[in-house]
A and B are shown apart, each in its own frame.
Chain A
Amino acid sequence: MDDILTAIRTAVIQGNAGEVESQVKAALEGGMAPKSILDHALIDGMREVGAKFEEGEFFVPEMLVAARAMKGGLTLLRPRLIEEAVEPLGRVVIGTVRGDMHDIGKNLVGMMMEGAGFEVKDLGVNVAPEQFVDAAKAGDVDIIALSALLTTTMPNMADVIKKLDDAGARQKVKVLVGGAPVTEAFAQRIGADGFAPDASQAATLAKSLVA
């Protein structure tokens, strides 16, 4: 049984989507527990991808193909995980703030969080503060993750936090911020709960916040 988990994990790291799908199907048909496949193949595989990124061996293209392969496997697993009432590690709502149309970094963060076991709802780009507030008020959200690439749109992150406050929803969620010009100091100044410099570290930070 370990062979098939190793095969899935390797296929995730190589970004081989077809192989991930066929091996996940085979594993399920062979009676393997979906939670095992998730934890020991998909999540472990993405953890390895994150490590390779942090070590400077993997770059954005390799991460994107790996994440896509992981998502293909996850799509097959998801109905079975729901059937067996397997809870995600936490629930994340992510989006690029108003006025900013950039999404590569945000997508990578979402994928790495999904690959770490989170359920991720992606609100897309140019997201109005109210949409984040509505998501937080609707409940069942642990983390709101905000992205910005532009110095001109960074201030809109502070606006989201303020509107969460105004709506009485700030304490219900942890707010993470990231994007090229965003720094730890900026995150602290606007009252965010956390900042990470890259997608891999963002997933690690998210895990620590829901632990």
Chain B
Amino acid sequence: MTPKERWLAVLAGQSPDRVPMDYWGTPEATRKVRAHLGCRTRWDMIERLRIDAVVGVGPEYVGPKLPRNTDMYGRRYRSVDYGSGRYVECISGPLENYHSVDEIEANYTWPSVDWFDYSVIPGQIRGRKRNYPIRGGGSEPFLIYAELRGREQAYIDLVEHPDIVHYCLDKLFDLCYENTVRIYEQIPGQVNLSYVAEDFGGQESLLFSPAIIREFFLPRMKRMVDLAHQAGAYAFFHSDGAIRRIIPDMIGIGIDVLNPLQWRSPGMDRASLKKDFGDSVVLHGGVDNQYTLPFGTVDEVQSEVRDNIEMMGQGGGYILAPCHNIQAVSPPENVVAMYEAGWEYGRIY
């Protein structure tokens, strides 16, 4: 099977020839693994480790010229040094000082899909990438909303300014929806996955109440899921953390894939996820990125991969992946051990 066939078999509820393996990593972490293996490019590394990676497609920004360190939403960024590398962090949002929908409407220009050139997309899936599943479109608007308003204010808005949240989420979801439609139009029938994401979970429990999730998010996310299904794509739901309480609702709106399975968090143990939800969704992720990959030993990585496959891989229904982007702090030896163990044990089922 090609990586694409392997993914599609799992997504269709069939048994693959082996457990598919996905890759999520920061550019720095990827560079470290590549250097360790002596691979020239990311794709060389993917092939070397026999990873069933996903090819992302998207348009090119051709909109109004942006000021330095500022994105199309007006979010400003700075680069932060964390000791062994750098990352980019939002430092201010354009909607921080508004107190009403009227003020926002009067003063703020929302980005438009017309600021993008979608004609570049067919060129993004040529060559060897044809054998890999394709991801495009999707949504994760609260992540953006939190940076437009300031994170703490965004959480407070859910209680004190529901009208502002509803207004902004409508704008952001509409943008995601139209963007996704245009991506699908460029390569009809070829997009396999759309990420319909939103971070609902903290380390120990949900960040928002189920009532808030049902009021603000689920109807809008369902519209994205339905759009994916109409285009023949699968809806890939990502939410970090302890989200057990909301999984039945997510299945109710039609998600096809549940990611990332932070199994050390309360309620997220692997065997019970498989038992309770394995018939309804494909489980994706499960290799712990808070302890095992960064701080565990090679032995611990190998046994975790084996446990994951034993607990979640039976009859298909599981895709092995890290529980989020692998960070530069993770030793390349652990990353390589993860994929080698995944290849070895993944053939059993």
Contact = CB atoms under 8 A, between A and B. Distances in A.
Contacts of B241: 180
A107 B328 CA distance: 27
Contact of B82 (A60, A68, A150): A150
Contact of A152 (B84, B89, B204, B209): B84
A98 B83 contact: yes
Contacts of B328: 152
A151 interface: yes
Contacts of B294: 151
Interface in A1-35: 15
A104 B152 contact: yes
Nearest to B203: A180
Contact of B158 (A61, A104, A183): A61
Interface string B203-216: 11111110010000
Contact of A61 (B80, B81, B212, B291): B212
B207 A59 contact: yes
Interface residues of B, number: 36
Contacts, number: 89
A64 interface: yes
Contacts of B245: 56
Given A101-B89, A152-B327, A153-B82, A15 B159 contact: yes
B80 A59 contact: no
Nearest to B200: A59
Interface string A170-182: 0000000000110
A59 B213 CA distance: 11
Interface in B88-126: 89, 91
Given A104-B155, A151-B290, A99 B204 contact: no
B204 A62 contact: no
B162 to A, nearest CB: 11
B156 interface: yes
Interface string A50-68: 0000001011111011001
A99 B329 CA distance: 13
A64 B156 contact: yes
A60 B85 contact: no
B289 interface: yes
Most chain B C-beta atoms within 10 Å of own C-beta, residue among A103, A152, A186:
A152
A48 interface: no
B209 A68 contact: no
B186 to A, nearest CB: 36
A98 B329 CA distance: 15
Contact of B209 (A59, A98, A104, A180): A59
Contacts of A68: 156
A151 B82 contact: no
B75 interface: no
B159 A62 contact: yes
B83 A65 contact: no
A142 interface: no
A180 B201 CA distance: 11
A61 B290 contact: no
Interface of B: 80-85, 87, 89, 91, 151-152, 155-156, 158-160, 202-209, 212, 241, 245, 289-291, 294-295, 327-330
List the 7 shortest-distance A-B pairs measured between CB atoms, nearest first. Answer: A99-B82, A181-B290, A101-B89, A180-B203, A61-B155, A61-B158, A151-B294
